[in-house]
Structure 1
């Protein structure tokens, strides 16, 4: 009789269990950071909330910051799938930018995104590797969408030929991020609209 074949080291059931565990860990990390704050969130707490051993977490991630980064990237990825396709291009640059900045305002005012983004931003200052991964995997792809939209506007004659889209996008996202980060004043749709008007038309008398 033929020898029975050894079981695959990665069976479908094991893969499904790993995915369920990973999903539970992501949900637990985001929930705990939202409830207790980043400083009081621990690997032990995440493991208990997710119903897994902390060794499972350490097998996949070296720190709670790394867990939170992947959990947030997963959350952002789900939101991105809902609005996939890049920035709108209706031919009206001002209207398109206002629409996108208003959506960004809504996201930054949503505790699901606000709390982990603040935690990762702060941790990225003291952990350069984490900060670099946060920029590379989340921020830069989002900024590239602005570059593509501004480049299209430039080709259509709606933006001056000599303007660098990578610098120009900072006129929109920079002030928005500054107000959100420092909480100087409320983040509103009206503010997003004003940013677009000031950036596109300047502040000098017309």
Structure 2
């Protein structure tokens, strides 16, 4: 799922569509969100929306990406545990925002049935963060802070998987305490051998 289609002529109308989609999704939920409703709220025809986006999910993804200010870089203070805790806590704060979380959950749910959206979420958002995490893990391995034989992709999945499990499948929030506990527990098993 590519970003908005290039033949879009009116940035003002496109912004109105995105704003309408975000507002309506907040008001009625993703399941009741419709292209017709977005078009009516934005004051454009639904054919205009379909010229620019293939689906309501694509509009919502653009809306989230336009409001998120996600820094994919990881700090490197020399303390891997502190650095990853800081980055994961910041990500949890952003994604756990009550104005963001319902939209993000809806997109993740929709992506399970829409391969194009699934790929777009990876290409345009999650993949950048995961790649940055992998690079920070490799730096920690080079510095002897975690086991050199641990697969950095698997470590990323281990650490972030716990946060996504809590965010998507439980009523509990991902907060600094949760992030810290997960990382401390994981790093105990990732510590380099003392021998």
- Comparing 192-201 with 134-143, which one deviates more in the overlay? 134-143
* Deviation for aligned residue 1:198: 0.6
Map of 2:177 onto structure 1? 190
More helix by share: 1
Map of 2:34 onto structure 1? 42
Which one of the candidate residues 10, 14, 17 is aligned to 1:18? 10
Asked if the contact 1:88–1:96 (Cα under 8 Å) also holds between the matched residues in 2, the reply is yes
Listed as ranges, the matches of 1:163-202 within 5 Å are 163-202=150-189
* Deviation for aligned residue 1:184: 4.6
Map of 2:111 onto structure 1? 124
Which consecutive unaligned segments of at least 5 residues does structure 2 have? Answer: 1-7, 191-195
Asked if the contact 2:96–2:173 (Cα under 8 Å) also holds between the matched residues in 1, the reply is no
Q: How many residues align?
A: 186
* Deviation for aligned residue 1:124: 0.8
CA deviations 1:152-194 (Å, max 9, x no partner) are: 1111221222111111111210011001101253322111100
Give the TM-score normalised by structure 1. 0.82
Asked if the contact 1:47–1:57 (Cα under 8 Å) also holds between the matched residues in 2, the reply is yes
Which one of the candidate residues 79, 89, 105 is aligned to 1:102? 89
Map of 2:4 onto structure 1? none
Which one of the candidate residues 50, 57, 77 is aligned to 2:49? 57
Q: Distance in 2 between matches of 1:111 and 1:23?
A: 22
Which consecutive unaligned segments of at least 5 residues does structure 1 have? Answer: 1-14
Asked if the contact 1:25–1:47 (Cα under 8 Å) also holds between the matched residues in 2, the reply is yes
Give the TM-score normalised by structure 2. 0.87
Which one of the candidate residues 67, 70, 75 is aligned to 1:75? 67
CA deviations 1:117-163 (Å, max 9, x no partner) are: 11111111111222122122211111011011111111122122211
SS at 2:100's partner residue? helix
Map of 1:113 onto structure 2? 100
User: Who wins on radius of gyration, i.e. which is larger?
Assistant: 1
CA deviations 1:6-41 (Å, max 9, x no partner) are: xxxxxxxxx8x6111111211111111111100111
SS at 1:70's partner residue? helix
